[in-house]
Each structure stands twice: as C-alpha cells, then as structure tokens.
Chains A and B, each alone.
Chain A
C-alpha cells in the first residue's frame, strides 16, 4: 500500500485503470439496467416499481460507501501522513454526494406509489439526508482548506467524525419503526429472489466500477492541479 503513496507509481497505475473502470462500469451498468427494465418480472407486492431497485440500491450502497472511503482514507492520512490518502478522501466526496442525492430522489419517487407518500421523517430517510449534508459540509471544508493552503487534517478529522452516521443509517430500520423495509441482503443471506438478485448484483458491481473510475479521475485532476500550482510557485520564487 505504501508503494502507491508515490505519485509517479500511482499515476502509472491510474492512467490505464481509470478508463478501464469507467468502460467496464458503463457496460455492466447498461446490461443490468436493460435487464432490470425489460426482463425482470413484476413483483407480487410492488408490481412494476420493483425495477427502481436496480438504481436505488446501488446508489444507497455507494452513498454510504463513499463516506466509508473518506473515513478510511482520512485515517490513513492522519496515521501515515500519505498525501495521496488525503487526495483519495477529497476525490470520493463528489461521487459519494451524487449517489446519496440519487438514492434520496429515487427513494422518494419509489415511495409515492408504494407507501403513498414522497417523504417521511423516519430514521432511514432522515439519516440519509444527514449524510447528504455531511458531504456538502466536507466538500466546502476541503475546498476552503485547499484554497487557503491549510492542512488536510481538519477535513480528515471531519471525515472520521462523520463516519458515525454510517452504522446509524445501516441499523436505522432495525432500531426504529420505519416504512422502509428491513435489510434484504446481509452477509451470506438474501431475502431477494434470484430473478432480481442477479441483475441487482451486476448493477452494484457496474455502479461501483463507475464510482472507482470517477474517484481515480478526481484524484488525477486534483494531483495535476497541485503539481501545476507547485511548479508555478517555484518559477515565481526563482524569478524573484
């Protein structure tokens, strides 16, 4: 792991991995969505709206996964002082926030025909909304910190503290009464029929590859911006 903290080595890997992840993600996501839209049978209780599963579940998974990535990268940065770990945390924020927003929007649209309402202030929906606000706060903090030449420590600490919300989201449907269904997929157990489970797993893998590709693209962009600024500063110093 320490070897990839070297930007040159990281770029060598990221140069081919970024397009590979994005291309693989686009193919798998397209397969799963066509499968989910046209070849999956309607559900006995939810009818045709069960097809929303193939976008809503990967979005929820990646919304939470994005913050988990921020927390792990922040911890690596704080413990081992790897600058690339701070970059990885920053790079995970925008895709994480986009998927959290997609999860909330698609969940709200799904709620209308199945629950009869667009929104309820229950544990699952509220904690997911809190996650969206945490992402917005993290992005603002990280940008302000980078612009003012400040330390990456403050966003890293914020990333670690915000991780407390992840188990709350996960357990919210168990701890509190909710219109949202309890977990259908747990380690080694599934309450989902294989007719839905297989395309769902392909969708989760496809969207995850896209997430990985976007994180690498953001890391490369942030690294290139940092290198360009550093070179300009060096030239300005030499000119004085």
Chain B
C-alpha cells in the first residue's frame, strides 16, 4: 500500500523545530551571559 504523505509537512516541521531550537539556545546563552556579567560587576562594586 502506498501512503499519500505530504512531503512539505515534514519539511516545515523540521524547519520550525530547527530554527526555534537554535534561536532559543542562542537567546538563552546570550541572556545568561549578560546576567552573569552584570552580577559580577555588581559584586565588584560592593
């Protein structure tokens, strides 16, 4: 039996997961870096 799958559904799912996962990781790394450096500077000033 031949399945009638829409190939674009799979392509779009991969692009959404890939782009969202990458952007979340970059955003998280950037935010956690800024937060840690801000805390270090505050500790230095005290």
Chain A residues with CB under 8 Å of chain B are 18, 22, 26, 29, 33, 37, 47-49, 51-52, 55-56, 59, 94-95, 98, 101-102, 105-106, 109-110, 112-113, 116, 207, 210, 213-214, 217-218, 220-222, 224-225, 227-228, 231-232, 235
Q: Which B residue sits closest to A36, measured CB to CB?
A: B15
A113 touches B7 (CB 8 A): yes
A55 touches B14 (CB 8 A): yes
**25 pairs of residues in contact across A and B, judged by CB atoms under 8 Å:** A22-B26, A33-B19, A37-B15, A51-B15, A52-B14, A55-B14, A55-B18, A59-B18, A94-B25, A94-B29, A95-B25, A102-B18, A106-B14, A109-B14, A109-B17, A110-B14, A112-B5, A113-B5, A113-B10, A220-B37, A221-B37, A224-B33, A225-B36, A228-B39, A235-B46
Cα distance A218–B30 in the bound complex, in angstroms: 8
B9: shortest Cβ distance to chain A, in Å?
A: 9
Which chain A residues border B14 with CB–CB below 8 Å? Answer: 51-52, 55-56, 106, 109-110
> What is the 8 Å Cβ interface bit string for chain B, positions 4-29, against chain A (1 contact, 0 not)?
01011011011101110110011001
Which chain A residues border B10 with CB–CB below 8 Å? Answer: 49, 52, 109-110, 112-113
B17: which of A26, A106, A210, A227 is its contact (CB, 8 Å)? A106
A33 touches B7 (CB 8 A): no
A217 touches B30 (CB 8 A): yes
A155: shortest Cβ distance to chain B, in Å?
A: 19
A69: shortest Cβ distance to chain B, in Å?
A: 15
Cα distance A102–B29 in the bound complex, in angstroms: 17
Q: Which 9 A-B pairs have the closest CB atoms?
A: A55-B18, A224-B36, A48-B7, A217-B29, A224-B40, A221-B36, A221-B33, A228-B40, A217-B33
State whether A95 and B29 are in contact (beta carbons under 8 Å apart), knowing that A101-B21, A113-B5 are contacts in the complex: yes
A51: which of B11, B29, B43 is its contact (CB, 8 Å)? B11
A41: shortest Cβ distance to chain B, in Å?
A: 14
A24: shortest Cβ distance to chain B, in Å?
A: 12
B26: shortest Cβ distance to chain A, in Å?
A: 6
Cα distance A49–B8 in the bound complex, in angstroms: 7
Which chain A residues border B11 with CB–CB below 8 Å? Answer: 37, 48-49, 51-52
